[in-house]
A and B are shown apart, each in its own frame.
Chain A
Amino acid sequence: MRTLKEAKVGETVLVQSITGTGAVKRRIMDMGITKGVQIAVRKVAPLGDPMEVTVRGYELSLRKADAEMVQVE
């Protein structure tokens, strides 16, 4: 199983599930990253972290540590 953290720039992935608990998980899901949604990886910040993705038609940035909680295929 891959995570969003490992997805390459330019790739579009499908979310399988979100691991983790509590505030972090809720926040990620509140922002629209839920089971079955498509995520396009846009770019990585110049210093290597965080990353920028397109989800549900808007731009979202999240840290790689948090992206690791998103299981994708």
Chain B
Amino acid sequence: MIRIALAGNPNSGKTTLFNALTGSNQFVGNWPGVTVEKKEGRLKQNKEVLIADLPGIYSLSPYTMEEIVSRNYLIQEKPDAILNIVDGTNLERNLYLTTQLLELGIPVVVAVNMMDEVEKRGDILHIDALAKALGCPVVPISALKGSGVQEAAKKAVEAAQYGAGECKHTFAPAVELALQKIARQLQVAENQKRYFAIKLFERDEKIGQSLSVVPNVESIIAQTEKELDDDSESIITNERYTFISSIINDCLTKRNQNTFTTSDKIDKVVTNRFLALPIFAIVMYLVYYVSVTTVGTWATDWANDGVFGDGWHLYGGSAYTEDSEAYSEASTILNGFVEFYGEENVAEALNSESETYDVQNAKTAAETFAASIGMEDEATYAVVDEETMATEMVTATGAELAEAVQVLDDFDFTEPDPADYGLWVPGVPVFIGNALESMQVADWLQGLILDGIVAGCGAVLGFVPQMLVLFFFLALLESCGYMARIAFIMDRIFRRFGLSGKSFIPILIGTGCGVPGIMASRTIENERDRRMTITTTTFIPCGAKLPFIAMVAGAIFGGASWVAPSAYFLGMAAIIISGIILKKTKRFLGDPAPFVMELPAYHMPTLGNVLRSMWERGSSFIKKAGTIILLSTIFIWFTSYFGFVDGSFTMLTEEQMDQSLLAGIGKAIAWIFIPLGFGNWQATVASITGLVAKENIVGTMAILYSGGMGTVYENMAASFTVLSGYAFLAFNLLCAPCFAAMGAIKREMNSTRWFAFAVAYQCGFAYAIGLIVYQLGNFVLNGTFGIGTAAAILILGYGLYLLFRPNPEAKSKKAVKVNA
């Protein structure tokens, strides 16, 4: 087995080369404990060669996760060779990493990529001169066109067999002298001595971990620093670039220094002072429109209501939709009249769920009833909106009733069956349900399989189609180079909240669905920014929270129009406040991460790479987030459908939810929410079912508040005040998101500790906001003052302190400046 490490700068075409070398023989994972992706693959032509794709890096400094991961791999795992891909159009900076790779004592082969672009510019690369100057084989390639790729692989395999040559490049005499003195004190393999000597000279903080004996070389360093009047780290960096400058003119003949490339021309428009923001808005609108409003929603509806629902139409669906709407409208009018006139016998005859239901009976009953109503007579009845459970009073005339009965007659008093229209594909649950039915499987087992496992799988897979649409766009934006410009344009706003300019996309997508929103954070390079984005993205109300917002607004606030906008405002405020508070905490402090970012040249993206990136991200969600989502869905199903009725443990129907285990849990922990004003078990249980999917809160509230007098809304209004209602809303908007989103958080954090932190922070923040709303609201409106009020004031005060305290990082930075 030969192991080759693929190393190179970001944007050097490394991923394209890796795909070209390995094809589909890839394994994607994570480097242990960090959010950095790890990819390995076997060479297409020779399965004995394993290629490890290192993260894209500019240097082997100890300051970013990517760099640490890469150098630990190179030093500890000692691959047999390094294939170093460099961008031929940007040779100078790319060779900077090469000089560092050459010092590791591992054979290096340099593949100069984008040769087609170099030639197009009229530049000439002198391969032999470069090979001689670097002391290693150099191969010109074009990863995109596939030319030279096999040659590069062959050279790397050869190099792995023959071993490393000597490191050719040298630094200034004073530096070389110091390095020699340090090397003499080292107890490492001969060919690694130069690397360790340089790292010790640089005073690298992390290098001690890789050495058994760390010699004290401070006096040698101090002397050289004094001699060259600079700090040792800068001396080495300077020396490297000095070496590159000394060889670059022999290796590369540039035709013209100042030509404007196509990329420059595009950039002149795209990041133009006046056009940048409008163009950005248009691009974002397009991404949102396609991946959330249109295609994404169709895909999600298809996956959730079709594949994991009743079924879907391959074609001919629109005729069914029309008919089914006409039928349900007509039966609403008929049922409304029957209810208004209190005709219970007719109602019983029309009840299609009843065991004695007979089409002929229903027809006769309806026609006789309609005939008894005059054309001018009117009936007023309540219509319940399925999504938000809002009730609306509607008045219809006898004429409309006659028409409705006629429509129902046309359908033969039978609800249209989707299977009779076009090509109907039954959903997975229907299919499995029928199979279980025919095998006469016990009810509880059917429930477990259908409502637990299948629904759980649906919860995982239902998000995937929409996610793929979004990932397609992200891959497109990344590979064409626009993503870096987004960071450039938006940086000024977002960095104040400890976020990256690229956090805009996760938050924007989060308004549609938090799951792809969180997954979109992967485009952010900086680990801290990424973790901050993951933690705060789901504060923004997603699509599934909208019915819940509408329900609270309708039931408790009399349909006030300010409630929904206030939810978005609350979400945005939560992101901003959390960003400012968290970025000052120890957890998010650490080394200051400078925003020094390359703006890569624009490239035409290739479909293959875009599709591959889309699929990798989608499948990693299924694999890594799937288990947690599935298990928690099953748990909630079990606790809501089982319980003790009259002392015996049994399976329950939906209406019996108040006797379920979940209700028991709700009753046991409802006291937690007493300070927030909604310490009743119904609201607690609804919040728990909201963890499966936020729209479930509406359904659960409807079941738990349906009994007794009045409508669901009236019952809710009776048990909530305006303040406890808003506290309930705020808590559920801000607390831990649904299991699918939590699965995504866990996957993206790639660390149980960080996952636990994110969820705990979200719940704690939600609780604090709920407490402040309810307690301080009560104090202001009703003048009540109690322990809760005091606690709310204390928490608010502490929050304000965290918000406005000076940044400890800035402070320590200043102190350093003073000392220096």
Contact = CB atoms under 8 A, between A and B. Distances in A.
A23 B592 CA distance: 7
Contacts of A25: 233-234
B289 to A, nearest CB: 23
Contacts of A35: 238
B234 A29 contact: yes
Interface in B461-498: 484, 487-493, 495
Nearest to B202: A26
B439 interface: no
Contacts of A30: 58-59, 61, 96, 237
A62 B276 contact: no
Interface in A32-73: 32, 34-35, 37, 43-50, 52, 56-63, 66
B277 A46 contact: yes
Interface string B59-95: 1010100000000000000000000000001111100
A28 B93 CA distance: 12
A61 B488 contact: yes
Contact of A52 (B61, B271, B594, B601): B271
Contact of B491 (A28, A50, A59): A50
Nearest to B63: A23
A23 B816 contact: no
Contacts of B63: 22-23, 26-27
Q: Is the interface of A mostly helix, strand, loop or mixed?
A: mixed
Nearest to A25: B234
B385 interface: no
A18 to B, nearest CB: 7
A25 B236 CA distance: 13
Interface residues of B, number: 46
Q: Which of A37, A45, A48, A63 has the most CB of B within 10 A?
A: A45
A56 B90 CA distance: 8
A13 to B, nearest CB: 16
A63 B271 contact: no
A49 B238 contact: no
A23 B591 CA distance: 7
Given A24-B594, A43-B271, A60-B596, A50 B488 contact: yes
Nearest to A43: B271
A61 B276 contact: no
Contact of B596 (A45, A47, A58, A66): A66
Given A31-B596, A52-B488, A66-B594, A45 B276 contact: yes
Interface residues of A, number: 34
B273 interface: yes
A63 B491 CA distance: 9
Contacts, number: 124
B423 interface: no
B592 A62 contact: no
A61 B596 CA distance: 6
A30 B92 CA distance: 12
Nearest to A69: B594
B818 interface: no
Contacts of B315: none
Contacts of B241: 32, 34, 37
B377 interface: no
Contacts of B96: 30, 32
Given A30-B61, A34-B237, A52-B488, A23 B273 contact: no
Interface in A6-22: 18, 21-22
Contacts of A59: 267, 598-601
Contacts of A46: 271-274, 276-277, 489
A57 B92 contact: yes
A27 B61 contact: yes
B189 interface: no
A1 to B, nearest CB: 16
A35 B727 CA distance: 58
A27 B594 contact: yes
Given A31-B596, A66-B596, A21 B816 contact: yes
Contacts of B92: 32, 56-57
B735 to A, nearest CB: 33
B231 interface: yes
A43 B487 CA distance: 15
A14 B278 CA distance: 34
B234 A18 contact: yes
A60 B594 contact: no
B445 interface: no
Contact of B90 (A28, A57, A61, A63): A57
B497 to A, nearest CB: 14
B593 interface: yes
B1 interface: no
B393 interface: no
A35 B271 CA distance: 29
Given A31-B596, A45-B271, A66-B594, A26 B237 contact: yes
A56 B746 CA distance: 40
Interface string B596-629: 1111110000000000000000000000000000
A32 to B, nearest CB: 5
A49 B491 contact: yes
B93 A29 contact: no
B245 to A, nearest CB: 8
The CB with the most chain A CB atoms within 10 A, among B58, B234, B598, B816, is that of B234
Contact of B598 (A18, A29, A44, A60): A60
A62 to B, nearest CB: 5
B770 to A, nearest CB: 35
Contact of B93 (A18, A32, A61, A66): A32
B598 A48 contact: no
B595 interface: yes
A47 B492 contact: yes
B493 A22 contact: no
Contacts of A28: 594, 596
Contacts of B591: 22-23
Residue with the highest number of chain A CB atoms closer than 10 Å, among B93, B274, B820: B93
Nearest to B278: A46
Interface string B675-693: 0000000000000000000
B231 A60 contact: no
B94 to A, nearest CB: 9
A15 to B, nearest CB: 11
Contacts of B58: 30-31
A29 to B, nearest CB: 4
Interface of A: 18, 21-32, 34-35, 37, 43-50, 52, 56-63, 66
Given A46-B276, A57-B89, 8 more contacts: A24-B594, A29-B238, A30-B59, A58-B90, A60-B596, A60-B597, A61-B596, A61-B598
15 contacts: A22-B591, A23-B594, A24-B592, A25-B234, A26-B61, A26-B237, A27-B61, A45-B271, A57-B91, A57-B93, A60-B596, A62-B594, A63-B491, A63-B495, A66-B595
